[in-house]
Amino acid sequence: AQSVTQLGSHVSVSEGALVLLRCNYSSSVPPYLFWYVQYPNQGLQLLLKYTTGATLVKGINGFEAEFKKSETSFHLTKPSAHMSDAAEYFCASNNAGGTSYGKLTFGQGTILTVHP
Amino acid sequence: NAGVTQTPKFQVLKTGQSMTLQCAQDMNHEYMSWYRQDPGMGLRLIHYSVGAGITDQGEVPNGYNVSRSTTEDFPLRLLSAAPSQTSVYFCASSYAPRLLDNEQFFGPGTRLTVL
């Protein structure tokens, strides 16, 4: 069974600082990986996704993530945090080629706080 | 194009009451799903549907029923509410042929409290 672990339930950064949100996955086959963002009192929005090909994936709002198979990781980064980045971020996976099409497995979520 | 809509936004129930959470999408998506979100646990899949007339259980289906009579609608029924079902419920949809990259579109959520 696949699982997703996000290290750190809360991350706090200063405006302009680097954002690093950690995600590790456990899967018997290479998964498809996603980062979603949830702003307060809203649904989830897709930030970026990795399926195949280039391991460095760029998403919306200046975020990017790198798939590292050797480390089973898919960490989310942004060079310079903005106040508007404050939200909860979820890493999710879906096993490619399995019978679990469409059935995302989510991590526990990381709440990002940005200080002025 | 309204996307995925959910009603109600908030609901308070007493233990043992029943209710239906409504979900609709206007994107002609074949795949629809229901998740519940609890603090520190991320989102967990309750039920999903790959098309009208086809539904299946997810990770936490107990206490919930679903049906899919049309492509657009996917209601979630709580037959006898329990305090453990206090949660935020999200409906999501996806265009089935693209399930491999599975970009799911989420509704705004229903915040349910069971007393």
Residue B39: the pLDDT is 86
3-class secondary structure per residue, chain B: CCCEEEECCEEEECCCCCEEEEEEECCCCCEEEEEEECCCCCEEEEEEEEECCEEEECCCCCCEEECCCCCCECCEEECCCCHHHCEEEEEEEECHHHCCCCCCEECCCEEEEEC
Q: What is the pLDDT of residues B20-69, one digit of tens each?
A: 999 999 999 988 999 999 988 889 999 999 889 999 999 899 999 999 99
CA distance B32 to B76: 11
Instruction: Note the pLDDT tens digit of each residue in A33-54.
Output: 999 999 988 889 999 999 888 8
Q: Which one is predicted more confidently, A16 or A102? A: A16
Task: State the pLDDT at residue A23.
Answer: 96
Identity of the residue in B48, B101, B108 whose CB atom sits nearest the CB atom of A49 = B101
Q: Which of B5, B94, B104 to mutate to test the interface with A (most CBs of A within 10 A)?
A: B104
Q: Could B42 and A44 be called an inter-chain contact, meaning their C-beta atoms sit closer than 8 Å? A: no
Question: How does residue B19 score in pLDDT terms, banded at 50, 70 and 90?
Answer: very high
Round to whole Å and give the CA distance between A35 and A44: 10
Euclidean distance between CA atoms B32 and B55, whole angstroms: 9
Contact B109 A103 (CB under 8 A): no
Per-residue confidence band for A114, with pLDDT thresholds at 50, 70 and 90 = very high
Average pLDDT over residues A101-113: 86
DSSP label of A2: -
Residues contacting residue A5 through CB under 8 Å, at least 6 positions apart: A23, A24, A25, A26, A107, A108
Q: Residue written as tokens 């590790």?
A: A24
Query: At B101, is the pLDDT very low, low, confident or very high (cuts 50, 70, 90)?
Result: low
Chain-chain contact of A90 with B42 (C-beta, under 8 angstroms): yes
- The pLDDT value recorded for residue A43 is 87
pLDDT band at B107 (very low <50, low <70, confident <90, very high): very high
State the amino acid at position B71 in one-letter form: T
Mean residue pLDDT across chain B = 92
CB pair distance less than 8 Å for A109 and B100: no
User: Judged by CB atoms within 8 Å, which residues 7-66 of A form the interface with B?
Assistant: 9, 32, 34, 36, 41-46, 49, 51
- What number of C-beta contacts closer than 8 Å exist between A and B? 66
